[in-house]
Structure 1
Amino acid sequence: MEGSGYQVVYFGPQHPGVPGNIAYKLWLDGDRVVKAEVVPGFLHRGFEKMMENRTWEMNVAMSYRFCVEDPDHLEIAYSLAVEDIYKAEIPENAKWLRMIQAEMGRIASHLFWSHFIGGSIGLRTPAYWAVAAREEILKWFARISGHRVYHNLSVPGGIRYSLPENFKEETTRVVEFVEEKARDVEEALLGNSIFKARLKGLGKLSIEDALNLGVTGPVLRASGLRYDLRVHAPYLNYDKVRFEVPVGASGDSYDRAVVRFKEIHQSLSIIRQALDEVRPGESLRVKLGLTAPVGEGVARVESARGEYMIHIISQGGRKPYRVRLRSMSMPLLTTVVDHIVSREEVTIADFPVILASLDPCPPDLDR
């Protein structure tokens, strides 16, 4: 489209409307975006290849590095894949704790998303409430793992750290606090006339289009398809708890917001159920040999942004032979954006709102 008379704008990684380490080259016809070309590579570290040159234990610290907003699902998936290679069965206590970790991570990610979506349209006050609620979750992680953002809590074989004495009481307190604040944020955003006007009808995806474009997670469910790995391919003990899978109707940016807030409440319910099953003092980990057997390990989890899969090949020894990660955000930043821009009248003011509604994790492309 070069030389076609369109205005070309570089929507770079320093722009507050871009969701992180990524940029877009935009072709504008007036204020309408007619083409968007993604420019990745701002955080390329070659995570897969780095993991192939580190030991099984060292790779726990590598497994979550490409999505700072939702590291826990990636950490859990890596541990599940390694356990698949070893054919190891972890203790029931560890399964329940991993579920609590995963749902705490999902809530923290969705709260962070509500901060970004609120900020993208100027609703800063509820965005700050969301950050305050997320902060309590980060403090909770720090108390049980020693780390606020990256946790090293789930490791091959189970849970790394023993539980603090007041684990159940402290977790219940955090759940109740987050539930109250999340409801405040939800009401302040979803009920706001400006929020509705900016998001309703914007960035629509049908079920068929979402599937064809490779979309999973909340964006797919907002289009109306009730698909969630925790239900359709259960792992850990998700088949032993009761929860609903929220879906939307129109598949627009507003529906994606509604689905995520509903998911927060479902995650809080899962945490409460899992917490009832935790037995303090019981085993949390089985020891695995330093040298892995020959074989393959595959794990799929329902992360905050959709289905994440990791495939590891072992030829025996202290390191994996091959590690392959399935990106959750690749379709959100590429095929979905192309689809929406080519079919809707997307203005330059709409573009960052659409990106925020998709909630991608850009470093996920640079793995």
Structure 2
Amino acid sequence: MAGRYMLYFGPQHPGAPGNVGFRLEMEGERVVRAELIPGFLHRGFEKMMENRKWENSYVLSYRFCVEDPDPFEVAYAEALDMVFKVDPPPKAKYFRMIQAEFSRIASHMFWTHFMLGSVGLRTPAYWALAAREEILKWFAWVTGHRIYHNFSVPGGIRSDVPQDFQSRTLDLTYRVEDLVKDVEKAALGNRVFKRRTRGIGVVKGETALRLGATGPVVRGGGLAYDVRKLAPYERYDSVNFEVPVGEVGDAYDRALVRFREVHESLKIIRQATMEVRPGGPYRVKIPLTAPPGRGYARVESARGEYTVHVTSVGGRSPYRVRFKSPSMPLLTTVLDYIIKNEEVTIADLPVILASLDPCAPDIDR
């Protein structure tokens, strides 16, 4: 069509959401079509896991998304709990919740850095990284690793918690809360941020869910869809927390929901921490050989619902491993819907992509 042209966007463009590219069909400054170009990080993790022993396979389960690895780790551990027919001790279940919620906060702070950078607010973007850094230090203290933790394992957790676990964990929640409040005020109250995000990338919750999305994109559109409430796992049915939702479903509401989720995660961590003390059982031993059967788990990650399905035919390795991650719909069906239903300029595209918060590696796997 006359006046239209193709523009390649990413993966090296700073406005691209990670290691993916797009083939954009442009009409002037308006984006009329966006075709996702994945594959830059394809590693075949699922097939690799099928060719490893049980005790080696789960070290790959959390490497799909460096920004939020722990829900992946927890989900795979839960699936193997089902395969091996074991029930972890209560302390392990509460710790898995703490691990997943700290990972959610760290991921939301990492997202804040990229989101604020897309609209030029660099200073509070670095404040967000400071909050994330405090959490990574905690992970290093408890698990020995900053990013990939390998701590939630089949049957429970890898080792007992340190002696001063409760006091240091609770202290961390208050330090992180103070940092997050500063970032939240500087971001959501900033007039530049409001003008760049309000009315941009609108998608209602019911529509987002129909398009295959979950997580903050759905909740930002007003639908309180959260696996932790709808199908509680670990001990989420034993703690009190709310599911924040937006109204309009635009980029601003998605930001608002994520900041509110951070405060709810801190509430969950404080309640769960009171149930985790050093000493006592923290893991059930599992045999080297698994019985035939299936394991299935679904968890709420920072980007939405994440599921894992493991099939065992008996023996030392999984027969099939299959993951369903939340990022693919964000960059395909949801992005297509937004482009078709509003005028998206090339200047707005990075803001919309950042507000959806996809994780490129979990698309490729």
SS of the residue corresponding to residue 271 of structure 2 reads: helix
Deviation digits for residues 303-343 of structure 1 (CA, Å, limit 9, x no counterpart) = 11000000000000110000110121010011111111111
1:192 maps onto 2:183 in alignment: no
Distance in 1, matches of 2:330 and 2:345, equals 18
Alignment partner, residue 47 of structure 2:
49
Deviation digits for residues 338-357 of structure 1 (CA, Å, limit 9, x no counterpart) = 11111110010100000000
The answer to whether the 8 A contact 2:205-2:217 is kept is no
Q: Which amino acid aligns with 2:359?
A: C
For residues 60-209 of structure 1, what are the structure 2 equivalents within 5 Å? 60-209=58-207
Distance in 2, matches of 1:132 and 1:207, equals 31
What TM-score do you get using the length of structure 2 for normalisation? Answer: 0.99
The answer to whether the 8 A contact 2:52-2:317 is kept is yes
Q: Which amino acid aligns with 2:143?
A: S
The answer to whether the 8 A contact 1:291-1:318 is kept is yes
Match of 2:309 among 303, 308, 311: 311
Distance in 2, matches of 1:219 and 1:96, equals 27
Deviation digits for residues 284-311 of structure 1 (CA, Å, limit 9, x no counterpart) = 1010000000000000001110000000
The answer to whether the 8 A contact 1:81-1:311 is kept is yes
Distance in 1, matches of 2:214 and 2:10, equals 26
Per the TM alignment, residue 211 of structure 1 is displaced from its structure 2 partner at its CA by 1.9
Per the TM alignment, residue 209 of structure 1 is displaced from its structure 2 partner at its CA by 1.5
Per the TM alignment, residue 4 of structure 1 is displaced from its structure 2 partner at its CA by 4.8
Distance in 1, matches of 2:192 and 2:131, equals 23
Per the TM alignment, residue 268 of structure 1 is displaced from its structure 2 partner at its CA by 0.2
Shifted more, 3-12 versus 67-76: the winner is 3-12
Distance in 2, matches of 1:270 and 1:212, equals 29
Deviation digits for residues 34-63 of structure 1 (CA, Å, limit 9, x no counterpart) = 111100000000111111111111122100
SS of the residue corresponding to residue 309 of structure 2 reads: strand
Distance in 1, matches of 2:75 and 2:48, equals 17
1:35 maps onto 2:37 in alignment: no
SS of the residue corresponding to residue 14 of structure 1 reads: coil
Structure 1 segments (4+ residues) deviating >4 Å:
none
The answer to whether the 8 A contact 1:219-1:251 is kept is yes
Q: Which amino acid aligns with 1:120?
A: S
SS of the residue corresponding to residue 201 of structure 2 reads: coil
Which consecutive unaligned segments of at least 5 residues does structure 1 have?
Answer: none
1:300 maps onto 2:298 in alignment: yes
Q: Which amino acid aligns with 2:53?
A: T
Q: Which amino acid aligns with 2:290?
A: A
For residues 9-20 of structure 1, what are the structure 2 equivalents within 5 Å? 9-20=7-18
1:366 maps onto 2:364 in alignment: yes
Q: Which amino acid aligns with 2:107?
A: S
The answer to whether the 8 A contact 1:144-1:161 is kept is no
Deviation digits for residues 5-62 of structure 1 (CA, Å, limit 9, x no counterpart) = 4121111111111111101111111111111110000000011111111111112210
Alignment partner, residue 229 of structure 2:
231
The answer to whether the 8 A contact 1:67-1:361 is kept is yes
Match of 2:332 among 331, 334, 342: 334
Q: Which amino acid aligns with 2:137?
A: K
The answer to whether the 8 A contact 1:32-1:346 is kept is yes
Distance in 2, matches of 1:178 and 1:4, equals 53
Distance in 2, matches of 1:73 and 1:149, equals 13
Per the TM alignment, residue 279 of structure 1 is displaced from its structure 2 partner at its CA by 2.3
Q: Which amino acid aligns with 1:298?
A: Y
Distance in 2, matches of 1:327 and 1:77, equals 11
Distance in 2, matches of 1:327 and 1:159, equals 23
Deviation digits for residues 143-185 of structure 1 (CA, Å, limit 9, x no counterpart) = 1111100000101111102211211121112111100000100
How many residue pairs are counted as aligned between the two chains?
365
Alignment partner, residue 240 of structure 2:
242
SS of the residue corresponding to residue 345 of structure 2 reads: coil
The answer to whether the 8 A contact 1:114-1:130 is kept is yes
Deviation digits for residues 210-233 of structure 1 (CA, Å, limit 9, x no counterpart) = 122011111101111111111110
Distance in 2, matches of 1:113 and 1:282, equals 37
What TM-score do you get using the length of structure 1 for normalisation? Answer: 0.98
SS of the residue corresponding to residue 58 of structure 1 reads: helix
RMSD of aligned Cα (Å) = 0.9
Shifted more, 257-266 versus 58-67: the winner is 58-67
